Structure 1
């Protein structure tokens, strides 16, 4: 594959709800362009893009795939399209974000059968945040139940009247056979092989087509003062002029044309590719934004400029090692180029550049600004690294903290798995930034947090397939605490004086509950030298030892006032260790004597949900022993619920919230405080279940 000029490159991300037909659409585009010799299909496991075993098994996209193709428009212009196929499942939103970070145009795929869904709304909202230009492709027009007009109405209701059709269907459902172009007033019908031919607009569609043409022209020229003045004066505006203005408005994310077709029959797919080329912006029109000495700075996609490269995805390949996917933001790359990681100063050699077509690597002699490519063995530059000439002070803006996810503890199956687990998890996280791994020293568990249960299941399958490490999962152990139930006066004693150097210490303690969150308050009330001052630090350490060892329920002890009121010592046999031991024994005795109260961690939770789901979410929080602190309006018609919820009730909340809100809800949670466990639940907190 040869190089294309920056102005002829189109970096296109396919977005939409799971099952809307994104991957099937990409497969047809590749086949129609001659990039693949046979049509890959998701359902029979032959997809070029969904080639990973986890995707084949589930018949759905689970990761980001990049595929390049050449396309020639009816006017004879040649373009290079880099397709970025993304998952529709919301467990993989960070994969989508990686694609969005390098795309210049989004094609939002919407099923004509299912209409606007949660995944459609998420994709649109993310594009809005980024100001990314969009086309809409209404797919599955040949399926039973397909309703283009109903889907268009949903799109306009959800996203505004700037969503406007460029095409109308010729025929409906099983009789769907072509598309009508309302800008150029012509139709295109297709044979059984998916080959299209231009025809006249069907007679029964002429009136509707003319009305849609006028609406389109009016919407487009309203964004251009000169054309609007001519239009209002009654002057005819040529379709070519309208198309040029439309392209500018698409690039400005001001108008969102709607196209339609079917991947199964191929109808309309060639027209989609034409419109992507003719209306979609090139990288030259969309400079990248980086931080230069902390200041947001635009970087034009200039092939003659200084090289600047973004690593937007990292993949572990069992044959070639780490593969990094790159976008050249500026300059041009050639084989064996040396660049520096701008964050770490690591020197990286970009040897053996290649273009991607799913799993296939196509040799690239050089890669110009705006293009996407891959390279192996950039081991010192993970995802979101920038590579540049030495000394260039550039960085990417920090991403916002991710929403709370789904956490499980993992346990290696064999000793061999245990030995390999840390490095395998490190590599897995480098490939999938949506994963977070934490070693919980208190619980003795390795915790893996994913976006949801599907994400976690897929990640652990990859852990075994790519790195040969098998793990089992278990619940995260809740870090319960306990505190004394009521005051107690006790004596702790160590006495061993059977000859030689002995051990002797006596401490009298008054132990009381303290205010929540205070930990330990140690009070020295010794008078008359009953215990020499230099032994009191050992007494306090002994109390801390016993608190860490745990109370009758087996949890760490907290929130105590311990007053040392009296004691005894021996001039020869007393020691720091003796007083430390005596104090620990005394505290343990006090806890056993007075009893303890189990305390559980309570988290502050902020839940953002559509207003229509607020009642269901509030009811669910009540079943989780949640206490609502506040409710209020969010953005885009959402409601925000602030609540305090026990950590034990949040184990599956990421999964359950998605089910309650049809995938539209999200939440964030941070530790807030410890509170007593209700009496009816306290017995269930006892160790060893939580140890």
Structure 2
């Protein structure tokens, strides 16, 4: 496709690219595992378009997509970032995504903001499990995709092997358009031309005999694949009868098939090689925002809205796809405009995102936006407007968070939130000092605003502050940001799982609270009998007082005292559950008895009864569903059994994947998010729901009780 034109670079270093119409925009998300070369590829594309003077650094110590100090220091992408350029009059928004499963929230935000996906695969490392899963995810929504095989100049590169892997893993419709030749250039399979990059600039010439033989080896399959996707049903008969199909017809049909998402071209790239071909694929083959379906839009009260068409003059509908807090300029919001036009200093309505269960409050407020910019690394270049289909950065949106909708004040609207995975790795933290504790809540609020995959829990039972993260790398980045960006020092502490206590048998206890001091004393005596109930029984309080030995007004006081002691526990400090307490005798004093006296007596009676029989510790058991590739099912089942789990069975899900169901104690799966990723090579996912409490094995209960004594 790049062979139709002579390149035609556009864009100027330092000048912010802009678009006036949606059809002049292409939004492309780059997807691939860490180390595949996504960021390097973006830099090479920016250099080829003239946006930066060379592929490499925009400024010392920062790549074009680096915004976060963690990325600069660790030399890896952990954020969604935007790099815009212009080629042949088309504005291209390149969305760089993290290559780690821990940061899948940013990756899915990139998919939401984009209209097409470019899968970046290393010619050295091939395809990983996460890339395969994302290919399937894009296929389910019909997103157009292309594949670029990078690092073809590496001494260990194996283009043919990786191409075969892509065709095997990604399925039908995957075919190469170009073949690399000894690091010197590319062979165009459709035009049968050799594109020579050995001199630093691309030149074209006729291929030699060896190169012609290579072209013939691949060209037939490519043409057949294009013709199969053609809307002209006569092409296949003409081709099979030996007719030579005009190259322009093939290229036009190819472009339409790519835009529909039914054909996926494979390109080859290295710094300085293949960039013009890739830019032409993006501008000619990938769809404009007008060709990509809009997400579901409703009114604030949930009524469907169907009159939004992506018109720059229509009602404003935009979405915050990424929020970043900068210590110097404040909050920066990366926004995709789906309808209408954003301008500096506009007053907009901010609508919430439905993630209140993760600590993200819903919003329904008006805000005035600040300046609108086109980001490049850490530089924000101002633009006059952002039309429907385009992406920009907005300053000073103090209330809007990732996933929120921006719309007109007169017509508030809400976009359906994109699917976010559940964070399943709990990390308990505490502030290192009183000064850190004072700043902790504000720092956590900023982290929550930025990251919809983070869930913040202040557990009232364990009295721990818990960050629910996607994995260890996610947790490390969050804690690093708290320290370096927000100046809050925190430390990890062992996670406490909320256990329960209950009676192991029937027992009686007496609570005697008799004290005589100056003035009114305390006098309350109660006798209770305690017996265990089935799981889920809670507290059943039975009144069997006869003859008024405990006055009626004090019987609720005994129950209140029993409940208070149950909350505190009697062995290891965990709440007590599932018991029946029968009050059958007691004594009172006409002057010294009181509500508080009988509450204390009830507490003492429960503790005495607990000392006469074994007290059981109960642990929470979760119902766990694990989705993995068929090849890992045996290992997953064996591992779940080793965690004291009961495997309930398995069932196939789609092609090549299996859902394994089990019941597993929560104590055994606090780090399962990390372990499953390792066992399944990054392809496994799981879901957990609380099921019930069960007795903790004796040897583990002894350890818990011993720890509580210290």
Q: Using structure 1 for the length normalisation, give the TM-score.
A: 0.94
Structure 1 position 688, deviation (Å):
5.2
Change (3 A) 1:359 1:605: same
Q: Tell me, yes or no, if the aligned pair for 2:528 and 2:582 is still in contact at 8 Å.
A: yes
> In structure 2, what is the equivalent of residue 3 of structure 1?
18
Q: Which residue of 1 aligns with 2:206?
A: 200
Specify the alignment match of 1:412 in structure 2: 431
Alignment partner of 2:344 out of 335, 357, 360: 335
Stretch moving more, 305-314 or 205-214: 205-214
Report the CA distance between 1:323 and its aligned residue.
0.7
Q: Give deviations 1:378-434, integer Å, cap 9, x for gaps.
A: 112211122222243532224446234211111111211100000110001111222
Counterpart for residue 454 of structure 2:
435
- How many pairs were matched up? 678
Structure 1: give runs of 5+ residues left out of the alignment: 73-77
Aligned twin of 2:146: 135
| Residue-by-residue CA offset, 1:105-149 (whole Å, 9 max, x unaligned) | 111011112222113213212312332110100111122332222
* 3-state secondary structure, aligned to 1:467: coil
Q: Cα gap change, 1:56/1:192 in structure 2, threshold over 3 Å: closer, same or farther?
A: farther
Residue in 2 that maps onto 1:75: none
- Structure 1 pair 331/250, CA: closer, same or farther in 2 (3 Å)? same
Q: Distance in 2 between matches of 1:688 and 1:320?
A: 48
Correspondence 1:517-666 to 2 at 5 A: 517-666=536-685
Superposition map of 1:364-375 within 5 A: 364-375=383-394
Q: 2 CA distance for matches of 1:287 and 1:477?
A: 46
Q: How does 1:43-442 map to 2 (within 5 A)?
A: 45-72=61-88, 78-171=89-182, 176-191=183-198, 193=200, 195-229=201-235, 231-232=237-238, 234=241, 236-263=244-271, 266-292=272-298, 293-295=302-304, 297=306, 299-343=308-352, 344-400=363-419, 402-442=421-461
For each residue in 1:513-545, what CA deviation from the matched residue of structure 2 results, as whole angstroms up to 9, or x when unmatched? 111121211111222323222221111111111
Q: Secondary structure at the match of 1:594?
A: coil
Structure 1 residues 500 and 150: CA distance shift in structure 2, 3 A: same
Contact in 2 for aligned 1:11/1:81 (Cα 8 Å): yes
| Worse-superposed segment, 655-664 or 404-413 | 404-413
- CA distance in 2 between counterparts of 1:278 and 1:566 reads 88
The runs of at least 4 consecutive aligned structure 1 residues that moved more than 6 Å come to none
CA change 1:115–1:53 in 2 (3 A) is same
SS in 2 for 1:557: coil
Query: Equivalent residue of 2:295, what SS?
Result: strand
Say whether the 8 Å CA contact 1:345–1:390 is kept in structure 2: no
Alpha-carbon distance in 2 for matches of 1:643, 1:298:
47
- Measured in 2, the distance between the counterparts of 1:598 and 1:402 equals 32
Question: Retained in 1: the 8 A contact 2:228–2:236?
Answer: no
Distance 1:499 1:377 in 2: 65
1:492–1:240 distance in 2 versus 1, CA, 3 Å: same
Does the 8 Å contact 2:115/2:143 carry over to 1?
yes
Moved more, 504-513 or 563-572: 563-572
Contact in 2 for aligned 1:290/1:299 (Cα 8 Å): no
Distance 2:412 2:258 in 1: 33
Q: How does 1:469-508 map to 2 (within 5 A)?
A: 469-497=488-516, 500-508=519-527
Give the Cα–Cα distance (whole angstroms) in 2 for the partners of residues 466 and 124 of structure 1.
34
Q: C-alpha offsets along residues 548-605 of structure 1, whole Å, 9 cap, x if unaligned?
A: 1211233221111111112222233222222211111000001112131111111111
- Are the aligned partners of 2:402 and 2:449 in contact in 1 as well (CA < 8 Å)? yes
Q: CA deviation at 1:60?
A: 1.4
TM-superposed deviation, 1:51? 4.6
- 1:9-49 CA-to-partner distances (Å, cap 9, x unmatched) read 1111110111111111111111222212343269x954221
8 A Cα contact 1:554 1:687, kept in partner: no
CA contact (8 A) 1:516 1:559 kept: yes
Name the SS of the counterpart of 1:152 in structure 2: helix
2:369 and 2:397 in contact (8 A); partners too: yes
The Cα of 1:227 is off from its aligned counterpart by 4.8
Deviation at 1:651, TM superposition (A): 1.9
Unmatched tracts of structure 2, length 5 or more: 1-15, 353-362
**Cα 1:403–1:336 shift into 2, 3 Å:** closer
Which shifted more, 596-605 or 287-296? 287-296
Q: Is this contact kept in 1: 2:512–2:604, CA < 8 A? A: yes
Cα deviation code 1:54-108 (max 9, x no counterpart): 1233221111111111123xxxxx2111110111110000000111111011110
2:37 counterpart residue number: 21
Aligned to 2:3: none
Kindly state the Cα deviation for residue 306 of structure 1 after the two structures are TM-superposed: 2.2
Counterpart CA distance in 2 for 1:64 and 1:456 is 17
User: How much does 1:317 deviate?
Assistant: 0.9
Give secondary structure in 2 for the equivalent of 1:23.
helix
Query: Does the CA contact (< 8 Å) of 2:123 and 2:157 recur in 1?
Result: yes
Distance 1:586 1:684, change over 3 A: same
**Is the contact between residue 108 and residue 123 of structure 1 (CA under 8 Å) also seen in structure 2?**
no
Which whole-Å deviations, capped at 9, do the CAs of 1:421-448 have from their partners, x for residues lacking one? 0011000111122211111122221111
What is the aligned-residue RMSD (CA, Å)?
A: 2.1
